[in-house]
């Protein structure tokens, strides 16, 4: 078996951008429903709240699908897995476009979501294998740029399509994106070299869950990122009812947020390549601080626009360090599962954040309090990260000490 050529430290391989294309398609279908809720609700005869559950259903589908599909595909080459996942994604969106009822649309959304976690999980492992060791976090951030560009361009474009031609047109367009992304991955992502599937398949993958640092990494992802969706899910009512913007101003402000996502994603990758632990702790601290300050910013329109952009930067600056942290702690046979579970953890955080924000609005201190509630959640993720680091340092101190006591 031939060895994989050493990646060039100065150039990023074109295969990395093929993964970015897949990430763009998946990111678009995850978030575009936020701009179609009114049309879907009216066409299918359900409430806006019920239409909003299409977001929750998708997030929970990611949480279930990530470990399920990762273990079922553990023996397959990673390129084959990526292509199969994009086919599921494409067919799922086709089913969304054709769905005649709310129940079938929800089913199609959940089927589509099953591919999400494993694609990003396996894709992150493939991406880090395409580059030199000192550029692994940057490789992850490049792949996730597809997700941020989807938020910046794909979601507004999908919302425009839905408003102009009906919500089904949006899912037809995303289906076409899926076809293109599948072809690009098939053409550009190299076949696996030097990757042997574990002989005991799922058992070898699940063994990674015995590692406390992996579990702590998943927990910090859930809580650290949940604060983002506690706010983002309700950004439209926050901007219109608290900040006083007209509904027509929401889309341009979301573009500011999307631009911040791209900047933060690339910045987080660069910083994590240099100092992973410091970047992980620093980005979570900054995110919690930005969310807390948002409690004041949303009451003044200019400050609210700045808050949207800075929140985008702070939110996605955490993604690459959180993902790379889990990958490092899962080094070995369980990387695919651990990586996919961390994507599931992001989505569990999304679902929890959306629920918590809704509870805060309906049963808690109200809409204006959503940012500081989000900050408390993200602070919980930071505390887990600090605890994880303290355990790691304590182990590093004990190991040499024990070694010197041996006869």
Where residue 171 sits, what CATH number does that domain have?
1.20.1250.20
Residues 6+ apart with CB under 8 A from 158: 28, 32, 35, 36, 170, 173, 174
207 & 303 share domain: yes
| Gap between the Cα atoms of 83 and 22, Å rounded | 10
| Model pLDDT, residue 234 | 84
Confirm whether 155 is domain-assigned.
Answer: yes
161 & 299 share domain: no
DSSP letter at 334?
T
| Gap between the Cα atoms of 343 and 221, Å rounded | 9
147 & 246 share domain: no
Confirm whether 273 is domain-assigned.
Answer: yes
DSSP letter at 36?
T
177 & 238 share domain: no
| Gap between the Cα atoms of 65 and 61, Å rounded | 6
Check: CB of residue 123 under 8 Å from CB of residue 16.
no
Rg (CA), the chain: 21
Opening angle at CA 367, ends 366 and 373, nearest 5? 80
Stated length of the chain: 407
Which tokens sit at 373? 């509630």
Give residue 318's Cα distance to chain centre. Answer: 10
Overall domain count for the chain: 2
Residue 269 main-chain phi, psi, to 5 deg: -65, -45
Confirm whether 2 is domain-assigned.
Answer: no
Opening angle at CA 193, ends 191 and 197, nearest 5? 95
| Model pLDDT, residue 49 | 67
Confirm whether 259 is domain-assigned.
Answer: yes
Confirm whether 6 is domain-assigned.
Answer: no
Which of 190, 222, 254 is the last residue before a domain boundary?
190
223 & 327 share domain: yes
Average pLDDT, the chain: 86
170 & 285 share domain: no
219 & 178 share domain: no
Query: What does the pLDDT look like over 210-259, one tens digit per residue?
Result: 899 999 999 999 999 999 988 987 887 899 899 999 877 877 888 899 89
Confirm whether 5 is domain-assigned.
Answer: no
| Gap between the Cα atoms of 370 and 374, Å rounded | 6
User: b/e per residue, 298-320, with b = 16+ CB within 10 A?
Assistant: beeeeebbebbbbbbbbbbbbbb
Query: What does the pLDDT look like over 105-151, one tens digit per residue?
Result: 999 999 999 988 889 888 988 998 888 888 888 888 889 888 888 87
174 & 209 share domain: no
173 & 286 share domain: no
Confirm whether 246 is domain-assigned.
Answer: yes
The ranges of the chain with pLDDT < 50 are 1-9, 194, 399-407
Which of 123, 157, 190 is the last residue before a domain boundary?
190
Check: CB of residue 137 under 8 Å from CB of residue 324.
yes
232 & 156 share domain: no
Which tokens sit at 380? 């919980």
For residue 382, what are the domain limits? 198-401
- Cα dihedral sign for 41, 62, 147, 265? positive
User: What is the rounded end-to-end Cα distance, in angstroms, of the chain?
Assistant: 43
125 & 160 share domain: yes
| Model pLDDT, residue 2 | 38
DSSP letter at 209?
G
| Gap between the Cα atoms of 114 and 124, Å rounded | 17
Check: CB of residue 82 under 8 Å from CB of residue 108.
no
Residue located via tokens 């507004």: 156
| Gap between the Cα atoms of 398 and 85, Å rounded | 44
Query: What does the pLDDT look like over 283-296, one tens digit per residue?
Result: 999 999 999 999 99
Check: CB of residue 66 under 8 Å from CB of residue 344.
yes
Residue located via tokens 């579970």: 341
Which of 166, 190, 214 is the last residue before a domain boundary?
190
Confirm whether 95 is domain-assigned.
Answer: yes
CB atoms within 10 A of CB 368: 16
151 & 205 share domain: no
Q: Which of 281, 292, 282, 279 is nearest to 230 (CA)?
A: 292
Residues 6+ apart with CB under 8 A from 203: none
Q: What 3 state SS string does 115-140 have?
A: HHHHHHHHHHHHHHHCCCHHHHHHHH
| Model pLDDT, residue 200 | 55
Q: Which of 331, 313, 221, 226 is nearest to 271 (CA)?
A: 313
| Model pLDDT, residue 400 | 46
């Amino acid at each position: 078996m031939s060895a994989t050529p050493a990646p060039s430290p100065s150039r990023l391989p074109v295969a990395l951008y093929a993964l970015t294309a897949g990430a763009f398609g998946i990111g678009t279908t995850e978030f575009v429903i936020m701009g179609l809720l009114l049309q879907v609700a009216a066409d299918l005869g359900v409430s806006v709240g019920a239409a909003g559950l299409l977001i929750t259903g998708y997030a929970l589908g990611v949480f279930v699908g990530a470990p399920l599909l990762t273990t079922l595909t553990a023996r397959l080459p990673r390129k084959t897995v990526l292509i199969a996942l994009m086919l599921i994604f494409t067919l799922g969106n086709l089913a969304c476009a054709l769905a005649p009822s709310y129940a079938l649309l929800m089913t199609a959304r959940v089927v589509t979501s099953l591919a999400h976690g494993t694609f990003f999980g396996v894709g992150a492992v493939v991406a880090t294998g395409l580059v030199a060791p000192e550029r692994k976090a940057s490789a992850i951030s490049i792949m996730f740029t597809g997700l941020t560009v989807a938020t910046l361009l794909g979601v507004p474009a999908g919302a425009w399509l839905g408003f102009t031609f009906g919500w089904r047109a949006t899912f037809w367009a995303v289906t076409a994106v899926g076809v293109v992304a599948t072809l690009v991955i098939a053409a550009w992502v190299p076949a696996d070299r030097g990757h042997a599937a574990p002989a005991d398949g799922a058992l070898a993958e699940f063994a990674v869950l015995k590692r406390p640092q992996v579990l702590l990494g998943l927990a910090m992802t859930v809580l650290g990122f949940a604060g983002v969706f506690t706010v983002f899910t309700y950004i439209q009512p926050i901007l219109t009812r608290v900040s006083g913007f007209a509904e027509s101003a929401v889309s341009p402000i979301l573009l500011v947020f999307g631009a911040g996502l791209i900047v933060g994603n690339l910045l987080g990758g660069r910083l994590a390549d240099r100092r992973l632990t410091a970047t992980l702790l620093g980005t979570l601290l900054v995110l919690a601080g930005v969310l807390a300050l948002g409690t004041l910013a949303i009451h003044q329109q200019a400050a609210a626009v700045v808050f949207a952009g800075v929140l985008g930067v702070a939110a996605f600056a955490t993604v690459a360090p959180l993902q790379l942290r889990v990958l490092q702690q899962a080094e070995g046979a369980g990387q695919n599962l651990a990586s996919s579970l961390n994507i599931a953890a992001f989505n569990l955080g999304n679902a929890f954040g959306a629920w918590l924000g809704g509870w805060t609005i309906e049963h808690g201190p109200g809409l204006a309090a959503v940012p500081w509630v989000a900050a408390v959640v993200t602070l919980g993720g930071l505390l887990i990260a600090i605890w994880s680091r303290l355990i790691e340092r304590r182990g590093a101190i004990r190991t040499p000490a024990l070694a010197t006591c041996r006869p």
